[in-house]
Amino acid sequence: MKHQNVTLPRNEIKYAHSLYLNGQIQEAIDYIKTLNDKFPNQPLLFNLIGACYKSLNRLDGAVKMFSIAVSLNPKYSEAYFNLACVYQDLSQNNSAIENYKKAIEINPNYPEAHNNLGNVLRASENYKASIESFEWAIAYKHDFAEAYNNLGGALNDFGKTEDAIQSFEKAISIDPNYSKAIFNLALAQKDLGNIKMWIQLVEKTLELEPLLSEAHLELSRAKKYEKTDPHIKEIHELIKRKELTLSDRINFNFVLAKIYEDTEDKEKQFKHLNEANKLRKEESGYYFERDVNLFAKIKEAFKAPPKQLDKLNLISNSIRPIFVLGMPRSGTSLVHQILSNHNKVYGAGELNKIYKYAIPYLKKIKDNKNHKIPSDDIKSIRNQYLDYLSSLGVNEKIIVDKMPLNFRFIGFIVAAFPEAKIVHMNRDPMATCWSIYKNFFPGNAYSYNQEDTASYFKLYQDLMQFWNNKYPTSIFDFCYEDLTINQEFETRKLLDYCELPWDKNCLDFHKNNTAMRTTSSIQVKQKMYTGSSEDWKKFADHLEPLIKGLN
């Protein structure tokens, strides 16, 4: 099939395009097919019909049409771009990246392709490359507000929150009503603890998008409600709207739960909290056996633990990680802020890298009766992780990773990082589980049900006992309640374990300007307070499944 140079009638192409733009998609397809009969093997026609199929969400057909277009004309950058967009919709990120790069290779001055490539790279957690792509998009199109907003998101993901704020602000300066950038700026200000700015920006977002449930949820987190607050009536009216998505209903139920907690109406509080979590469980399709199987696989993999890498034989790397882990809501954010306020330490927040690097090896083990993890695999995890830490470009050589669920991968951490420190946070089980169930987490699907939350906590306890038996000298157990009662004494113990000299700034952790992208981001910007582990007792009558599950 070869492309012949034929001049297509401009008026007929214009008519086909107008049908497409007016939403008359099937009519456009039928008309383009008649043109294809008269003018076969024309890339433009296959590109047009591919766009029509994409509009109808017939994505496999769209891939086929765009692929034909580029096979007929290998220099057709727009068709490569369109093909990449469809692969992006199909979550086939590698194919999307490949085709965006082809479009850019043919036409470097293609800001939309650079921008979309940045989005796919960001979704693949290749933040450094995604930042570069967004910067190219902006270089070719200086008023590209969307690219500035996306650049801000990538910078924030990469731990560069101050730079992200500048990028969000630039997007807003180009388009003052760009609600998405305003909301993203609000979240970045929240992460830095700038509460007043956070609230103002969320309110500005709602002026532009009154139905944005995520913004209402953020506003509820910032407020202490009185019974006369007009926001209460507004939320009740919004939640009745028929056009709400499932996510909207979840968000609005969490807002109402917060409202009735503040106004001390426990019956209504739990009515909406339980409904929000029930809907979230439906949305996620979660089943508890999934985690049972994962934990069983981890324990099976480490029945015969891999040998710890020998410090003396490792390539010298001056970076030393500190892993702060445990259940969510156990105090990992607080300890992160304490440590990262030390003059020798950088706080990297919650990194998903250990999970990303370890999971492929667990999958390999599933089909292999020899469960011994090769030392080369352990070295690969080490090298990938340290390469990522190096890419952060920070001066400090001691870096804190406070991903709580890294407790699942302690065996990998011990084997791969003999120089690392592991701080395991302990907190009262009821306090931990109540806080998990009460707060909105984007992940942690076990938290959508009280029985599941209790059962997961017991899985966690069992796995931690397994790790402590395997590695009795490698894990530092640190008690949240003890820290809140005896701050300086416990902080000194923590620093001694981490082999860090005393730094009084660690006591002023609330002054730490490190961004925290967690549920605790506001709490850890405040001074230490005691008694939070007793809060669940006020709601004991509504927590019977949790209490029973935890015995």
Q: How confident is the prediction along the chain (551 residues), in pLDDT tens digits per residue?
A: 455 566 788 888 999 899 999 999 999 999 999 998 899 999 999 999 999 999 999 999 999 999 999 999 999 999 999 999 999 999 999 999 999 999 999 999 999 999 999 999 999 999 999 999 999 999 999 999 999 999 999 999 998 999 999 999 999 999 999 999 999 999 999 998 899 999 999 999 999 999 999 999 999 999 999 999 999 999 999 999 999 999 999 999 999 999 999 999 999 999 999 999 999 999 999 999 999 999 999 998 898 888 888 876 666 668 999 999 999 999 999 999 999 999 999 999 999 999 999 998 887 765 555 567 888 889 999 999 999 999 998 999 999 999 999 999 999 999 999 999 999 999 999 999 999 999 987 778 999 999 999 999 999 999 999 999 999 999 999 999 999 999 999 999 999 999 999 999 999 988 877 765 555 555 545 666 677 889 999 999 999 999 999 98
Report if residue 111 sits inside a domain: no
Q: Which of 489, 345, 321, 327 is nearest to 406 (CA)?
A: 327
99 lies in some domain: no
Number of domain units in the chain: 1
Q: Tell which residue, 374, 358, 378, has the closest CA to residue 314.
A: 378
pLDDT of residue 324: 98
Domain extent, residue 349, equals 319-550
In a domain, 442, yes or no: yes
| pLDDT given for residue 367 in this prediction | 53
In a domain, 452, yes or no: yes
* Residue 109: CB atoms within 10 Å: 11
Cα separation, 6 vs 41, whole angstroms: 10
The predicted pLDDT at position 317 comes to 67
Q: Which amino acid is at 493?
A: K
Does any domain span residue 362? Answer: yes
User: Which CA distances in Å does 350 have to 2, 332, 516?
Assistant: 53, 10, 9
Judged on CB neighbours under 10 Å (0-12, 13-18, 19+), 489 is exposed
For residue 432, being part of any structural domain is answered with yes
505 in a domain, yes or no?
yes
Neighbours of 139 (CB within 10 A): 13
Two structure tokens written together for 366: 């599933």
CATH, residue 472 = 3.40.50.300
Q: Which two tokens stand for residue 526?
A: 């405040």
461 within domain boundaries: yes
d(CA 79, CA 109): 15
Q: Which helix (H) or strand (E) holds 346?
A: strand 345-347
